[in-house]
């Protein structure tokens, strides 16, 4: 974007601050990166046993199934999303945060051996306990959720080996997860095995529980539900791989609504463990069983005379004994939406997708969606279907109706990539362990000559250009490495790494790097809405490096300020060119820092593209950590237009670069801030991984 400053001035009589649309029904979490992360904080070794961690996708994910239903004063299950993120490696630290009254996202980053054996940590409400990749192991104990405990998420953990040498143990009640009277609990993507009693017990009127994408194995009792005379439990059990367990697979007693679908129950021939029964509906349970797969199970589906059980769509292979159904139950879709996978696909789906994930950005819903999507692979070494990203994009059929995932193996891909408007629902995803492993890079600038004549211009300089709606980029780096110092004679140094000109663009776990004009968030046309949501990511640059007319959110990320080509420190973080009556750029729960001089960067300036006085540029920076690099007067005029006539404000920022309210530093009131939440920017769109 050109640094114009000499156009005629236009002033408006209205207030510089515009109150946003009504308070959002659901606000995003208020977690921020610490200022000490640096550029690649995800790979830094933490020195303390409990320290602030970068916000993973897991930190803001919410449950599906009955755990998502609004009841008992709890609107869905989101765990510790609204609290601090801490990393733990010891039992003491795990207990400290799990038993605290405050919300926490607790990242388990190692093996914790429980002492004494059988210890069940008494988890309190509003907690997310999640393993870091596949390294989070709880050995010889588990978790207990008591009466009234609610809004708890347990994900991506291996909980194992409390076994005391007796298969049908009556003396040691050592479970992986036990709940007595809890509600709104989500148990997802765990590996639970070899405990002394059961793997999961949902007891004593516990309700609004979802158990999804777990591996349950090598145990006498897999999963018990009930143990109460009351009929109140609502539970969803989906996409679980239950193998080499004798009983309670699960056993469901007096559940008001039990919805079981897309589970894989497997009894492997030739082993010492023999299944007594599979899914069991008893008491006054109402059970709906759909599209599951039973392999070698004895008595795969049973019910007693007082329970109801509706079956449809399951596969039974090598099973024997009772397979029963009867009565009427309920319609799960009256409570929540869900999508069934074909029963025939369930074994392969769960063998590859159940249990802890190496990438903590993959949610249960995403795993199901990804499995059903078309996947195209890209690898420089020829081991994939394509050797360039653009070749894979070209292979996507025009006007495709469903998701296409372009899985890019680690490597540096020096190429230009364009996703045209007629190819929606595309995901470009790096498959490496880190977003640094997969890099798409090129070096065009605005003034770079085109082969056919003319120059590329700012928008045309983009390394990756996205014009298709419902686009996602995950776990990769997109750079523009144009060398300003070597091209001082070139007119036009704007060099875009990523340009979006579409609606519903989701950028998750990416790095977008450049110098001037790094990230262009545009729309297809001035009259069209274009929403962009970036999270768990990094944006790097120096001049106007987050700019455009889109409705864009930078959330839970790091904005890294970079010196200019000559070593000086000066620049602007944002340059919005927002149309009137639209939302502009929102930076929330984010850190702004970099190796630059103190008080050398503006948070933004008002870009009236083409001198258009009808535009109403907007940037809001809220609940973020600002380093000393930010100027004490953080907003600047541009092109003859006063920033005070447009919409620039802050709210509850912290750090050396934050400041108090003044005429040069507007702050939102609490009332105004209530209308400028992340959800207000996104409207009817809730980004989810695909």
Q: Which residues are CB-neighbours of 225 under 8 A, at least 6 positions away?
A: 202, 203, 233, 235, 250, 251, 252, 253, 255, 258
Give bridge partners of residue 605 from the DSSP assignment.
636
- Tell me if 427 sits within 8 A of 474, measured CB to CB: yes
Give bridge partners of residue 513 from the DSSP assignment.
479, 540
Find the catalytic residue in 205, 517, 646, 680. Answer: 517
In the structure encoding, which two tokens stand for residue 675, read together? Answer: 């209308």
Whether 517 is catalytic: yes
- Burial label for 313, CB within 10 Å (0-12, 13-18, 19+), is middle
Helix extents (H) in 265-388: 346-353, 364-372
Find the catalytic residue in 93, 197, 544, 680. Answer: 544
Residue closest to 10 by CA, chosen among 684, 647, 675, 646: 646
Q: CA distances (Å), 476 to each of 426, 432, 469, in order?
A: 15, 8, 20
Residue closest to 55 by CA, chosen among 32, 35, 78: 32
* Dist CA 415 CA 659 (whole Å): 43
Residue closest to 586 by CA, chosen among 494, 635, 651: 651
- Tell me if 524 sits within 8 A of 501, measured CB to CB: yes
Q: CA distances (Å), 6 to each of 607, 642, 645, in order?
A: 12, 12, 17
Tokens 């999270």, residue? 535
Tokens 């298709």, residue? 468
Strand positions, DSSP E, 286-361: 286-290, 293-295, 301-303, 308-312, 315-317
Q: How far is CA 444 from the centre of its chain?
A: 32
In the structure encoding, which two tokens stand for residue 572, read together? Answer: 């602007």
* Dist CA 474 CA 507 (whole Å): 6
- Tell me if 606 sits within 8 A of 617, measured CB to CB: yes
In the structure encoding, which two tokens stand for residue 404, read together? Answer: 């296409």
* Dist CA 77 CA 207 (whole Å): 12
* Dist CA 469 CA 685 (whole Å): 12
Active-site positions read 517, 544
């Amino acid at each position: 974007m050109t640094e114009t400053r000499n156009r005629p001035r236009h002033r408006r009589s209205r207030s510089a601050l515009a109150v946003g649309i009504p308070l959002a029904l659901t606000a995003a979490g208020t977690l921020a990166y610490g200022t000490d992360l640096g550029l690649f904080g995800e790979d830094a070794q933490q020195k303390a046993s409990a320290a602030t961690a970068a916000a993973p996708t897991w930190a803001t994910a919410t449950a599906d199934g009955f755990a998502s239903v609004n009841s008992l004063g709890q609107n869905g299950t989101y765990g510790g999303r609204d609290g601090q993120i801490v990393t733990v490696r010891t039992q003491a630290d795990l207990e400290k945060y799990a038993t605290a009254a405050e919300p926490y996202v607790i990242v388990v980053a190692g093996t914790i051996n429980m002492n004494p054996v059988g210890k069940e940590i008494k988890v309190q409400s509003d907690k997310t306990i999640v393993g870091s990749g596949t390294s989070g192991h709880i050995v010889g104990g588990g978790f207990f959720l008591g009466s009234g405990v609610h809004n708890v998420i347990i994900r991506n953990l291996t909980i194992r080996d409390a076994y005391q040498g007796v298969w049908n143990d009556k003396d040691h009640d050592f479970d992986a997860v036990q709940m007595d009277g809890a509600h709104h609990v989500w148990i997802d993507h765990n590996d639970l095995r070899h405990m002394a009693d059961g793997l999961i017990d949902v007891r004593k009127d516990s309700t609004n529980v979802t158990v999804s994408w777990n591996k349950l194995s090598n145990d006498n009792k897999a999963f018990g539900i009930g143990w109460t005379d009351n009929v109140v439990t609502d539970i969803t059990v989906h996409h679980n791989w239950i193998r080499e367990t004798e009983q309670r697979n699960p056993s469901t007693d007096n559940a008001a609504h039990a919805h079981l679908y897309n589970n894989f129950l497997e009894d492997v021939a030739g082993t010492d463990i023999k299944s007594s029964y599979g899914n069991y509906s008893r008491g006054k349970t109402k059970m709906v069983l759909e599209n599951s797969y039973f392999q070698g199970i004895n008595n795969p589906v049973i019910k007693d005379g007082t329970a109801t059980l509706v079956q449809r769509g399951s596969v039974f292979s090598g099973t024997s004994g009772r397979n029963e159904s009867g009565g009427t139950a309920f319609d799960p879709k009256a409570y929540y939406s869900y999508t069934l996978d074909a029963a025939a696909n369930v074994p392969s789906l769960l063998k590859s997708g159940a249990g802890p994930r190496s990438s903590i950005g993959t949610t249960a819903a995403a795993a199901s969606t990804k499995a059903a999507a078309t996947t195209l692979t890209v690898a420089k070494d020829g081991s994939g279907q394509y050797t360039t990203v653009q070749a894979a994009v070209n292979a996507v059929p025009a006007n495709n109706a469903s998701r296409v995932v372009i899985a890019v193996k680690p490597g540096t891909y020096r190429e230009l990539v364009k996703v045209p408007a007629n190819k929606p629902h595309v995901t470009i995803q790096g498959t490496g362990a880190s977003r640094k492993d997969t890099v798409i890079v090129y070096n065009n600038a605005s003034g770079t000559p085109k082969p056919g004549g003319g120059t590329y211009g700012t928008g045309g300089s983009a390394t990756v250009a996205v014009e298709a709606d419902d686009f996602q980029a995950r776990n990769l780096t997109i750079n523009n490495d144009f060398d300003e110092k070597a091209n001082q004679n070139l007119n036009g140094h704007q060099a875009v790494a990523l340009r979006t000109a579409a609606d519903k663009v989701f950028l998750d776990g990416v790095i977008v790097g450049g110098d001037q004009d790094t990230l262009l968030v545009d729309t297809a046309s001035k009259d069209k809405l274009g929403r962009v949501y970036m999270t768990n990511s990094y944006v790097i640059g120096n001049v106007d490096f987050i700019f455009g007319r889109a409705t864009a959110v930078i959330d839970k990320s790091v904005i890294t300020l970079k010196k200019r080509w000559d070593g000086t420190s000066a620049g602007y973080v944002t340059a919005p060119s927002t149309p009137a009556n639209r939302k502009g750029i929102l930076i929330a729960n984010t850190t702004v820092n970099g190796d630059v001089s103190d008080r050398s960067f503006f948070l933004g300036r008002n870009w009236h593209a083409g001198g258009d006085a009808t535009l109403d540029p907007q940037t809001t920076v809220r609940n973020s950590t600002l380093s000393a690099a930010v100027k004490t007067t953080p907003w600047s005029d541009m092109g003859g237009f006063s920033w005070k006539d447009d919409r620039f404000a802050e709210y509850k920022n912290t750090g050396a670069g934050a400041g108090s309210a003044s005429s040069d530093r507007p702050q939102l009131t609490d009332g105004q801030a209530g209308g400028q939440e992340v959800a207000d920017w996104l409207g009817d769109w809730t980004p989810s991984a695909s």
